[in-house]
């Protein structure tokens, strides 16, 4: 196994960890706002790590660009949707969780 | 001139012309009537040329895209296809004539033409298809356009009827598609002829056949899967009911016949007897329900449930010595029912327009008020019951003859009872009209074209009684598997 | 190991679940969802069948399933519009004789 | 079995079990909203399955149509049902009132769950028996396709089957799309869209992503001859953009004049038909493309089909004929 493969492997495992953390938070956190917070943060970092890891395996710069583009698009989409969900919840009168 | 005739009789035109017509009516809704009438006339000409070509030169096979089976899709037109194309064209002529006058709102008229041309194109495509997956697509086209036509009537009854029809139709075609998937998984061909040469009586094939038959029986509304039919056929606008009862239910029955003749691996008696028994139940149940109906259109819808039963009586007779008689009988039946029932629905539309209602026991004086419609009603009723000299008479005669010849007398009993019940409900309608009861206030004028269209179809059903011999000659062109499946040709 | 059988059997289960839902539930949206689950199962059987030979996938079922997906979404779109019209006319999102069950 | 094989097998197992579980939720969960979300999830899971089963073209179509568009349609239908008040904007009918009213309830009785379960069990048992006895190694028509494709300059075999070998099916399929629009328009005018003001966030999102989506649609179309993609996937991309625009309050079809909308809807199928008929004029069979021009013709057909598919899908989402329709059917009551 070459060093570059090792870097990829570590990146993928780390990314998977962040995805897992985000998912557990989705299941365990008390209200919609905190869940959104955890989910978007965790998944964005996780995705970034996975894509970074994969870009080491890319055969050309255009593939790296494609991976970058995927990351950017997912970022735009997830931030917009999480904003819209939170906004809808607020309009419906869902109160943020307090201890 | 000859070159032109050959070019025009190519099977693809029977599909392309109405399809183009449908698209053009969408593009120019204001000119829908003109475009629709032109498309109707052209399609009639094309179908006539194609039928004549089949009668003269035999089976037509046409590789769309030039690839040919197994990769491409072939159109396949034999005598059986030709008969159904011709029946469709005959009913279509009547319905188009009627549609010119029936719809008054511009918007509805435009959509009627679009959807009706879609149905026609899809029916022609279905009758010409030689490929089981292509049949699925045509089946969906027929179903979806028929549903939309039902909903054109507007109002709760039509909308709920249409929606139930759509849901049922989707289950039916999904079941058919499942059968296609399994057959493709086993044999890796979709062309019916190649598939027919390969089928073996194994588990996959039987399960696929069961799925396809179940789906198609649901779409044909064979008892006890008829529950959706009366609401849809009864609530649709009159010309639409004519198309649905006359043609659309026969489309799925046609696929059943194709599957039975060409894809059933071996002749086993059990499925045929089961289908026959369901058909017999349909005849009795549908007729009794028809007797109980208050409204003419619902009566006719239940009568369709009963008449569909007759179609299925062919299956127990199809593997006996009398097979050829039975098949001719059932084709005559399809033709005469298509013409007679569509005539009856058009008459019901006229009566509805004239009286403002279609309650069976309040049609007093109809014979004097609306004589042409009433005459058509009588003629078509005669064919529906099966009295000579109508097409219905010949059809039932042939079926009874086949049942006797094969020693299955119990089907004769059912058929005679069905005819008796049909006579009862037909005379229930006619009797009231003939008795010069109170003529209720005349509500609306029935356009001559509307009465004429009904009469034309009813006359067709009568004249059909004299056409059994040419129909049999047409039927024998490319008749599948005559040698293998028993019965003298 | 060739996973085709597992996926195909999973497809068969989807067909069963969809068929059950389409028959039993009265609410129109549920019926439409169930029908789509059922056709999803059929597509799954179809695509699994195309993946039996090692190495190559058969493109013909792929093309047929794409056709099927488009047809299904068209039919569903019409069914959904009809459902809304039915609800406007009759006041309930179910066919007469059925009840809306749990919305 | 090596490590990779083991991971793959584990992955397969998870998906195979998850599919029916999610399907059960989509069909049976008590909350309709939850059911719809699970149905969308099922669509995504199916898309993943298609990738795993080496069907990337189907995966693209499923993710976009089966999951995305169906989800949007279901959610908007749910919202419209919730807004429905019986009796309001009731359509008039040319039949008397006593006829248009739904028939009495006793006419149809729902099937009991037990009977349905019995039927389903029989169906599942039969299908299982059939699937298990299918040959476990079969190439289907793949060798035949591989033999014929080199004749054309199309590396994507699915596009070859869809638009060339079985182009007739695809023509009828575009016919189904056209028919669906005719059906939806015939049912009446589009209901008023919900009045919630789209915030700057969604507007900005559409502004950013919209041009990219158009670009992607073009790419899917262009690359579809050689890589996964094609007219349907590209058309759905445009349709999705239209749905997004509608959600953002900028109804893309409302500004089109009626004739332009109808032309856009009809042009795809009409051009397909025209190409087919032209081939007959050249002495070939319907849709039998000449060798030299096959790829160009296919791209031409796909390009117009893409636009029609996009417009058709947005029209289906709108749920009725556009209010701006000036075809004489405006205010067209029955």
DSSP, residue by residue, B308-363: HHHHHTHHHHTTSTTHHHHHHHHHHHHHHHHHHHHHHHHHHHHHHHHHS--BGGG-
Q: Which residues contact B122 (CB under 8 A, 6 or more apart)?
A: B138, B141, B142, B145
CA–CA dist B134, B116 (Å, integer): 20
Considering the domain boundaries, does residue D123 fall inside one? Answer: no
- Do residues D181 and D330 both lie within one domain? yes
Considering the domain boundaries, does residue A81 fall inside one? Answer: yes
Q: Which residues contact D62 (CB under 8 A, 6 or more apart)?
A: C43, C69, D43, D46, D47, D50
D199 contacts on A by Cβ (under 8 Å) = 84, 87
**Left (φ > 0), alpha (ψ -120 to 50) or beta: where does D21 sit?**
alpha
D119 to chain A, minimum CA–CA distance in Å?
37
- Do residues B303 and B415 both lie within one domain? yes
In this complex, do C88 and D86 lie within 8 Å of one another by their Cβ atoms?
yes
Residue % of chain B over a pLDDT of 70 = 95
- Do residues B166 and B70 both lie within one domain? yes
In this complex, do D101 and B155 lie within 8 Å of one another by their Cβ atoms?
yes
Q: Which two tokens stand for residue A13?
A: 């495992």
- Do residues B394 and B438 both lie within one domain? yes
CA–CA dist A82, D325 (Å, integer): 36
Size of interface B-C (CB pairs under 8 A): 75
In this complex, do C24 and D184 lie within 8 Å of one another by their Cβ atoms?
no
Considering the domain boundaries, does residue A21 fall inside one? Answer: yes
- Check contact A-C (3+ Cβ pairs < 8 Å): no
- Do residues B313 and B375 both lie within one domain? yes
Q: What is the pLDDT of residue D83?
A: 80
Considering the domain boundaries, does residue B248 fall inside one? Answer: yes
Q: Which two tokens stand for residue B69?
A: 């089976």
B71 contacts on C by Cβ (under 8 Å) = 60
| Mean per-residue pLDDT, B52-65 | 92
Final residue belonging to a domain, choices D78, D109, D135: D78
B295 touches chain C (CB under 8 A): no
CA–CA dist B342, B457 (Å, integer): 7
D201 to chain A, minimum CA–CA distance in Å?
7
D313 to chain B, minimum CA–CA distance in Å?
16
Considering the domain boundaries, does residue D318 fall inside one? Answer: yes
Final residue belonging to a domain, choices D50, D78, D106: D78
Residues in chain C: 103
Half-sphere exposure of B295 (CA within 13 A, CB side): 19
- Do residues B173 and B306 both lie within one domain? no
What's phi and psi for B77, nearest 5 deg? Answer: -125, 110
For the stretch D147-153, contacts whose Cβ atoms lie closer than 8 Å and that sit 24 or more positions apart, written own/partner, are: D148/B67, D148/B71, D151/D291, D152/D291, D152/D294, D152/D295, D153/D225, D153/D294, D153/D295
- Do residues D68 and D184 both lie within one domain? no
Residue found by looking up tokens 């069979």 in the block: D285
Query: Tens digit of pLDDT for each residue in B324-376?
Result: 999 999 999 999 999 999 999 999 999 888 888 788 877 777 777 788 998 99
Range of the domain at D264: 153-334
C44 to chain B, minimum CA–CA distance in Å?
10
Final residue belonging to a domain, choices B266, B300, B333: B266
CA–CA dist D163, D224 (Å, integer): 11
B174 contacts on C by Cβ (under 8 Å) = 35, 38-39, 42
Instruction: Name the residue facing D73 among C3, C11, C80 (closest C-beta).
Output: C80
In this complex, do B182 and D284 lie within 8 Å of one another by their Cβ atoms?
no
Instruction: Name the residue facing D329 among B29, B188, B227 (closest C-beta).
Output: B29
Question: Residue B60 pairs with which residues in a beta bridge?
Answer: B77
B463 touches chain C (CB under 8 A): no
Considering the domain boundaries, does residue B388 fall inside one? Answer: yes
CA–CA dist B198, B204 (Å, integer): 13
Q: Where are the beta strands (DSSP E) in B196-293?
A: none
Final residue belonging to a domain, choices B234, B266, B298: B266
Considering the domain boundaries, does residue D145 fall inside one? Answer: no
Q: What is the pLDDT of residue A43?
A: 87
Q: What is the pLDDT of residue D126?
A: 94
B163 touches chain C (CB under 8 A): yes
Q: What is the pLDDT of residue B481?
A: 58
pLDDT band, very low/low/confident/very high, at B105 (cuts 50, 70, 90): confident
- Do residues B116 and B47 both lie within one domain? yes
Residues (pLDDT < 50) of chain D are: 87-109, 325-334
Q: What is the pLDDT of residue B415?
A: 94
Query: Tens digit of pLDDT for each residue in B74-95?
Result: 999 999 999 999 999 999 999 9
Q: Could you tell me which chain D residue has the CA closest to the CA of B142?
A: D176
DSSP state of B63: E
- Do residues D205 and D298 both lie within one domain? yes
B105 contacts on D by Cβ (under 8 Å) = 94, 332-334
Q: Could you tell me which chain C residue has the CA closest to the CA of D179?
A: C74
pLDDT surpassing 50 at residue C93: yes
- Do residues B236 and B301 both lie within one domain? no
- Do residues D158 and D276 both lie within one domain? yes
pLDDT surpassing 80 at residue A23: yes
CA–CA dist B324, D141 (Å, integer): 37
pLDDT band, very low/low/confident/very high, at A39 (cuts 50, 70, 90): confident
Considering the domain boundaries, does residue B275 fall inside one? Answer: no
B119 contacts on D by Cβ (under 8 Å) = none
Mutation for testing the C interface, residue in B170, B186, B188, B227 having most C CBs under 10 Å = B170
Considering the domain boundaries, does residue A47 fall inside one? Answer: yes
Counting beta carbons within 10 angstroms of the beta carbon of residue D218, is it exposed (0 to 12), middle (13 to 18) or buried (19 or more)? middle
What's phi and psi for B61, nearest 5 deg? Answer: -125, 130
- Counted domains in chain D: 2
C94 touches chain D (CB under 8 A): no
- Do residues B246 and B338 both lie within one domain? no
Instruction: Name the residue facing D187 among C50, C76, C85 (closest C-beta).
Output: C85
The sign of the CA dihedral D252, D256, D258, D259 is: negative
D135 contacts on C by Cβ (under 8 Å) = 52
pLDDT surpassing 70 at residue C102: no
pLDDT surpassing 90 at residue B314: yes
Specify whether the CB–CB gap between C20 and D120 falls below 8 A. Answer: yes
Considering the domain boundaries, does residue A71 fall inside one? Answer: yes
- Do residues D43 and D160 both lie within one domain? no
Among residues C19, C14, C59, the alpha carbon closest in space to that of C40 is found at: C14
SS (H, E, C) D47-83: HHHHHHCCCHHHHHHHHHHHHHHHHHHHHHHHHHHHH
CA–CA dist B177, B136 (Å, integer): 6
Specify whether the CB–CB gap between B302 and B286 falls below 8 A. Answer: yes
Q: Could you tell me which chain C residue has the CA closest to the CA of D91?
A: C89
Query: Which subunits count as partners of chain B given 3+ CB pairs below 8 Å?
Result: C, D
Q: What is the pLDDT of residue B345?
A: 95
Considering the domain boundaries, does residue B43 fall inside one? Answer: yes
B151 to chain D, minimum CA–CA distance in Å?
7
C56 contacts on D by Cβ (under 8 Å) = 139, 142, 146
Final residue belonging to a domain, choices D30, D47, D78: D78
D70 contacts on C by Cβ (under 8 Å) = 36, 73, 76
Which strand (E) or helix (H) includes residue B396?
helix B391-405
CA–CA dist B301, B293 (Å, integer): 10
Range of the domain at B301: 287-479
Q: Which residues contact C95 (CB under 8 A, 6 or more apart)?
A: B160, B163, B164, C26, C28, C86, D108
Instruction: Name the residue facing C58 among D74, D139, D162 (closest C-beta).
Output: D139
- Check contact A-B (3+ Cβ pairs < 8 Å): no
Query: Which subunits count as partners of chain C given 3+ CB pairs below 8 Å?
Result: B, D
Considering the domain boundaries, does residue D128 fall inside one? Answer: no
B453 to chain D, minimum CA–CA distance in Å?
21
Among residues B107, B108, B60, the alpha carbon closest in space to that of B80 is found at: B60
Among residues B311, B325, B256, B334, the alpha carbon closest in space to that of B476 is found at: B325
Mean pLDDT of chain C: 89
Query: Which subunits count as partners of chain A given 3+ CB pairs below 8 Å?
Result: D
A24 touches chain D (CB under 8 A): no
Query: Tens digit of pLDDT for each residue in C45-66?
Result: 999 999 988 778 899 999 999 9
Q: Where are the beta strands (DSSP E) in chain D?
A: none
Q: What is the pLDDT of residue D88?
A: 45
Report the relative pairing of strands B60-64 and B73-77 from DSSP bridges: antiparallel
CB atoms within 10 A of CB B365: 20
CA–CA dist D180, D170 (Å, integer): 15
Instruction: Name the residue facing A83 among D201, D208, D209 (closest C-beta).
Output: D201
B145 contacts on D by Cβ (under 8 Å) = 179, 183
Q: Which two tokens stand for residue D265?
A: 């809807």
Displacement of CA D183 from its chain's centroid (Å) = 15
Instruction: Mark out chain D residues that contact chain A at CB-CB < 8 A.
Output: 199, 201-202, 205, 208-209, 212
CA–CA dist B193, B177 (Å, integer): 18
Instruction: Name the residue facing B177 among C58, C68, C83 (closest C-beta).
Output: C68
Task: Answer yes or no: pTM beyond 0.90.
Answer: yes
Residues in chain D: 334
Specify whether the CB–CB gap between D103 and C102 falls below 8 A. Answer: no
ipTM of predicted complex: 0.94
With both helix axes pointing from N to C terminus, report the angle between C4-24 and D3-28 in degrees, rounded to the nearest 10: 0
Range of the domain at A62: 3-92
Q: Which two tokens stand for residue B344?
A: 């009856």
In this complex, do D199 and A73 lie within 8 Å of one another by their Cβ atoms?
no
Q: Which domains does chain C have, with CATH numbers?
A: 4-90 (1.10.287)
- Do residues B362 and B416 both lie within one domain? yes
DSSP state of C100: -
In this complex, do A77 and D212 lie within 8 Å of one another by their Cβ atoms?
no
B207 contacts on D by Cβ (under 8 Å) = 126-127, 129-130
In this complex, do D81 and C62 lie within 8 Å of one another by their Cβ atoms?
no
Q: What is the pLDDT of residue B389?
A: 86
| Mean per-residue pLDDT, B218-233 | 92
- Counted domains in chain B: 2
Q: What is the pLDDT of residue D330?
A: 40
Instruction: Name the residue facing B144 among C60, C75, C95 (closest C-beta).
Output: C75
Counting beta carbons within 10 angstroms of the beta carbon of residue D236, is it exposed (0 to 12), middle (13 to 18) or buried (19 or more)? buried
């Amino acid at each position: 196994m070459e060093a570059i493969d090792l870097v990829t492997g570590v990146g993928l495992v780390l990314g998977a960890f962040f995805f897992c953390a985000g998912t557990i938070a989705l299941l365990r956190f008390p209200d919609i706002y905190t869940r959104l917070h955890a989910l978007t943060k965790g998944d964005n970092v996780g995705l970034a790590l996975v894509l970074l890891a994969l870009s080491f395996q890319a055969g050309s710069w255009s593939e790296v660009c494609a991976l970058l583009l995927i990351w950017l698009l997912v970022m735009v989409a997830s931030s917009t949707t999480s904003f819209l969900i939170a906004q809808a919840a607020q309009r419906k009168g869902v109160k943020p969780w307090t201890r | 001139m000859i070159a032109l005739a050959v070019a025009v009789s190519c099977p693809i035109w029977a599909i392309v012309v109405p399809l183009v017509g449908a698209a053009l009516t969408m593009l120019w809704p204001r000119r829908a009537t003109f475009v629709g009438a032109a498309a109707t006339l052209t399609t009639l000409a094309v179908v006539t040329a194609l039928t004549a070509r089949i009668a003269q030169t035999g089976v037509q096979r046409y590789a769309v895209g030039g690839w040919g089976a197994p990769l491409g899709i072939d159109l396949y037109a034999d005598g059986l296809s030709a008969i159904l194309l011709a029946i469709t064209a005959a009913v279509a002529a009547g319905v188009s004539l009627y549609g010119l006058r029936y719809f008054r709102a511009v918007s509805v008229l435009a959509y009627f033409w679009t959807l009706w041309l879609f149905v026609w194109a899809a029916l022609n495509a279905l009758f010409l298809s030689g490929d089981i997956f292509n049949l699925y697509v045509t089946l969906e086209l027929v179903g979806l356009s028929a549903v939309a036509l039902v909903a054109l009537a507007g109002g709760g009854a039509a909308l709920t009827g249409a929606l139930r029809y759509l849901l049922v139709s989707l289950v039916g075609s999904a079941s058919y598609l499942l059968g296609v998937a399994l057959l493709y998984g086993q044999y890796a061909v979709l062309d019916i002829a190649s598939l027919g040469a390969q089928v073996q009586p194994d588990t996959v094939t039987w399960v696929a056949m069961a799925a396809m038959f179940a789906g198609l029986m649901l779409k044909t509304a064979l008892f006890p899967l008829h529950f959706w039919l009366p609401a849809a056929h009864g609530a649709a606008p009159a010309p639409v009911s004519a198309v649905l009862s006359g043609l659309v239910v026969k489309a799925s029955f046609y696929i059943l016949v194709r599957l039975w003749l060409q894809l059933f691996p071996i002749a086993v008696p059990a499925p045929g007897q089961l289908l026959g028994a369901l058909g017999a139940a349909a005849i009795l149940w549908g007729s009794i329900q028809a007797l109980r109906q208050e409204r003419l259109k619902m009566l006719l819808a239940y009568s369709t449930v009963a008449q569909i039963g007759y179609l299925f009586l062919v299956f127990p007779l199809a593997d006996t010595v009398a097979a050829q008689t039975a098949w001719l009988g059932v084709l005559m039946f399809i033709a005469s029912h298509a013409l007679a029932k569509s005539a009856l629905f058009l008459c019901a539309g006229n009566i509805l327009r004239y009286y403002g209602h279609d309650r069976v026991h309040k049609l007093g004086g109809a014979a004097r008020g609306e004589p042409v419609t009433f005459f058509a009603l009588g003629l078509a009723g005669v064919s529906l019951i099966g009295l000579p000299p109508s097409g219905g008479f010949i059809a039932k005669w042939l079926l009874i003859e086949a049942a006797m010849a094969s020693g299955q007398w119990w089907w004769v009993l059912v058929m005679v009872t069905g005819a008796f019940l049909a006579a009862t409900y037909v005379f229930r309608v006619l009797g009231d009209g003939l008795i010069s009861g109170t003529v209720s206030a005349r509500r609306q004028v029935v356009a001559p074209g509307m009465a004429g269209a009904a009469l034309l179809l009813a006359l067709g059903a009568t004249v059909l009684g004299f056409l059994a011999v040419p129909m049999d000659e047409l039927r024998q062109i490319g008749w599948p598997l005559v040698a293998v499946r028993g019965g003298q040709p | 190991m060739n996973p085709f059988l597992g996926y195909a059997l999973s497809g068969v289960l989807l067909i069963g679940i969809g068929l059950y839902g389409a028959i039993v539930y009265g609410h129109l949206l549920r019926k439409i969802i169930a029908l789509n689950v059922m056709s999803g199962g059929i597509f799954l059987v179809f695509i699994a069948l195309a993946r039996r030979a090692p190495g190559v996938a058969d493109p013909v079922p792929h093309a047929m399933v794409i056709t099927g997906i488009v047809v299904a979404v068209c039919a569903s779109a019409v069914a959904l519009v009809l459902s809304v019209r039915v609800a406007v006319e009759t006041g309930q999102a179910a066919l007469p004789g059925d009840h809306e069950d749990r919305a | 079995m090596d490590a990779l094989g083991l991971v793959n097998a584990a992955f397969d197992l998870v998906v195979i079990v998850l599919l029916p579980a999610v399907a059960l939720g989509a069909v049976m969960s008590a909350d309709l909203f939850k059911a719809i979300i699970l149905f969308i999830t099922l669509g995504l899971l199916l898309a993943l399955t298609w990738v795993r089963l080496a069907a990337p073209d189907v995966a693209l179509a499923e993710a976009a149509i089966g999951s995305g568009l169906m989800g949007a349609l279901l959610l908007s239908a749910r919202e419209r049902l919730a807004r429905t008040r019986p009796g309001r904007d009731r359509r008039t009918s040319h039949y008397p009132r006593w006829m248009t009213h739904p028939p009495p309830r006793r006419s149809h009785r729902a099937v009991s769950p037990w009977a349905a379960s019995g039927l389903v069990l029989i169906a599942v048992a039969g299908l299982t028996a059939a699937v298990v006895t299918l040959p476990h190694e079969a190439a289907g028509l793949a060798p035949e396709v591989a033999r014929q494709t080199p004749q054309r300059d199309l590396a994507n075999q699915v596009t070859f089957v869809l638009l060339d070998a079985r182009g007739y099916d695809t023509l009828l399929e575009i016919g189904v799309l056209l028919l669906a629009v005719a059906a939806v328009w015939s049912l009446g005018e589009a209901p008023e869209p919900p009045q919630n003001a789209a915030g700057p966030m969604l507007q900005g999102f559409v502004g950013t992503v919209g041009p990219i989506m158009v670009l992607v649609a073009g790419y899917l179309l262009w690359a579809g001859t050689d890589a996964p993609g094609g007219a349907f996937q590209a058309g759905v991309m445009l349709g999705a953009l239209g749905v997004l625009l509608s959600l953002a309050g900028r109804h893309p079809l409302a500004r089109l004049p009626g004739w332009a909308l109808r032309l856009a809807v009809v042009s795809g199928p009409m051009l397909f038909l025209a190409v087919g008929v032209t081939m007959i004029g050249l002495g070939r069979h319907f849709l039998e493309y000449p060798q030299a021009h096959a790829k160009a013709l296919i791209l031409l057909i796909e390009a117009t089909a893409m636009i029609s598919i996009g417009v058709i899908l947005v029209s289906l989402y709108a749920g009725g004929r556009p209010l701006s329709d000036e075809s004489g059917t405006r205010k067209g009551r029955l």
